[in-house]
Amino acid sequence: MLRPSIAIALLTALPLAAQMTWVPEPVTGSPPNPRAQVVAVQDTLRQRLVVFGGLQLVPGTQFQDTWEWDGTRWRRVATTGPTLRSAYAAAFDAARGRVVLFGGFSSALSGQRFADTWEWDGASWQQRNVTGPPGRTAAAMAYDARRQRIVMFGGTGAAGANLDDVWEWDGTSWTQRTNGYANGAPVARTSATLSWAPPLGGCVLVGGSSPARGVRGDAWLWDGIGWRSLGFGPAVMDHGAAWDEARGRLVVHGGYDGRDESPETWEWDGSTWLPQPPALPVAGHTLVYDPRLGRVLRFGGFQNPGGVVSDLSGLRQTVADQVVTAGAACSASNPPPNLATTSRPLLGASGFALLVTRAGPLLPVIAVLSPSQGNGQVFGSCTVVPDLANAALLFGLSDLSGSAALALPIPFDAALRGATLFHQTVVLVPGGPLNGVGALSNALATTLGD
């Protein structure tokens, strides 16, 4: 027999018909002020989502504060650091445990485009006094985990011209890179995205805008040597993009499509772009993958309708939870023991339990759990539904009223979404129909949902 924790881990996923949708995350505490042209960075070492600055379009207020989200609660952790700004570039340097921020602009300083480099270590911001890229806004940035480098491409330069240069930060200095291949490179552009794609060993550039050619509908891979074309991609700018590590796909969402804010979500599996159901049109937001939650998060931006928001949502494959009877009880008493659940079987339901009633007072109760259904296993005159060859046991004792609650906390694990577990309980009572040693409750099949 297996321990209950192992039984939960062995749950077998059912075929899922649901598509990916954006679902608001549970949030406590006061969230950041609504803001757009902002970047959310996942500090994977401290397990915090870090947000700095941004722009509130009306009345045009920019911010200088730093916020962190720990998976539940928002906290403002700093009000000093980089000058108030928006449209900067940022990424998390996992090898050095630092959020790296470059550039952006300040409306309070006549639209100045910054050329400064800052790092956040979880306690404070430090400016790095280094020379490097010229000032810019709306550059694309990502962390190359294979080579342990921050990669930055393009943006809008000090003279208002779009840029096509590549720069890399190694934690000490900036280095301008040149294309090592002879098969072309992305044209100068602004408001594109750059996302680290582990299976490709490089950073994927999507979209953006160039004055001469408008919104771009192409995708490119920077592999540390040069650029390689990945063909067509979503034609958007000022959008969000992030690699979904749990599902092995690049998620591209929202942005401006040349006419208005886009409601579209696209996923790229390495060869094909796949559409997902539309959401509220949004631009100027940010996407980031949270490995702890196992999904891509979206923060902020300008929604249409709705204006500038501080919404935090996750891209989920929602599945309805379900509890159904899967087999009959078997008992010499009438009525027989009854098995139910104390709550809905939802991911993250730490208080979930199996509830046995009508067991008789002060009797041992054993719950049998399995991720699969047995093939009519008969003991005495009773049929056991869970597969005993792949099962776990929970033990309890009924109270004076004949009831027992057997705790079975459900972890918040995306891999368990839509999975089914079969339950049935044995009440040990002499002379029972279960081989003369017990009575059997009804069986349940529970499907874990959101």
Average pLDDT, integer, range 116-123: 97
Q: What is the pLDDT of residues 196-216, one digit of tens each?
A: 999 999 999 999 999 878 999
Residue 348's identity, in one-letter code, is G
Phi, psi of 337 (to 5 degrees): -55, 145
9's enclosing H/E stretch is helix 4-9
Please name the residue that has the structure tokens 């002379």: 431
Contacts for 118 with CB less than 8 Å, ≥ 6 apart: 81, 82, 100, 101, 102, 125, 126, 127, 128
Instruction: Confirm if 448 and 422 have CB atoms less than 8 A apart.
Output: no
By residue count, the chain amounts to 450
Domains 4-9+320-447 and 19-316 belong to one CATH topology: no
Please name the residue that has the structure tokens 């949004």: 282
CB atoms within 10 A of CB 185: 19
Contacts for 411 with CB less than 8 Å, ≥ 6 apart: 8, 347, 348
Name the residue ranges covered by the structural domains of the chain: 4-9+320-447, 19-316
Please name the residue that has the structure tokens 């979500």: 265
Contacts for 208 with CB less than 8 Å, ≥ 6 apart: 140, 154, 186, 189, 190, 191, 192, 193, 215, 216, 237
Look up residue 6 and give its DSSP letter: H
Instruction: Confirm if 225 and 181 have CB atoms less than 8 A apart.
Output: yes
When mean pLDDT is compared across 26-40, 169-183, 247-261, 409-423, the lowest value belongs to: 409-423
CB atoms within 10 A of CB 182: 7
Distances from the Cα of 426 to the Cα of 328, 339, 355, 357, 372, angstroms: 13, 10, 12, 12, 18
Distances from the Cα of 292 to the Cα of 123, 296, 297, angstroms: 21, 11, 11
Residue 41: pLDDT band by 50, 70, 90 thresholds? very high
Instruction: Confirm if 268 and 242 have CB atoms less than 8 A apart.
Output: no
Distances from the Cα of 31 to the Cα of 28, 40, 58, 121, angstroms: 8, 13, 18, 21
What tokens does 447 get? 């499907």
Residue 9: pLDDT band by 50, 70, 90 thresholds? very low
Q: Is the pLDDT of residue 450 over 90?
A: no
Average pLDDT, integer, range 249-263: 95
CB atoms within 10 A of CB 418: 24
Task: Check residue 3 and give its pLDDT.
Answer: 44
Q: Is the pLDDT of residue 377 over 80?
A: no
Q: What is the pLDDT of residues 409-436, one digit of tens each?
A: 999 777 788 889 999 999 998 888 888 8
Residue 150's identity, in one-letter code, is I
pTM for the whole structure: 0.72
Reported in sequence order, the residue ranges of 178-237 that DSSP labels E, i.e. its strands, are 193-197, 202-206, 209-210, 214-215, 218-222, 227-232
Average pLDDT, integer, range 235-248: 96
Q: Does domain 4-9+320-447 have CATH number 3.40.50.300?
A: no
4's enclosing H/E stretch is helix 4-9
d(Cα 239, Cα 287) in Å, to the nearest integer? 9
In CATH, which of 3.90.226.10, 2.120.10.80, 3.40.50.1370, 1.20.1260.10 is domain 19-316? 2.120.10.80
In the chain, DSSP finds a helix count (H) and a strand count (E) of: 1, 46
Residue 135: pLDDT band by 50, 70, 90 thresholds? very high
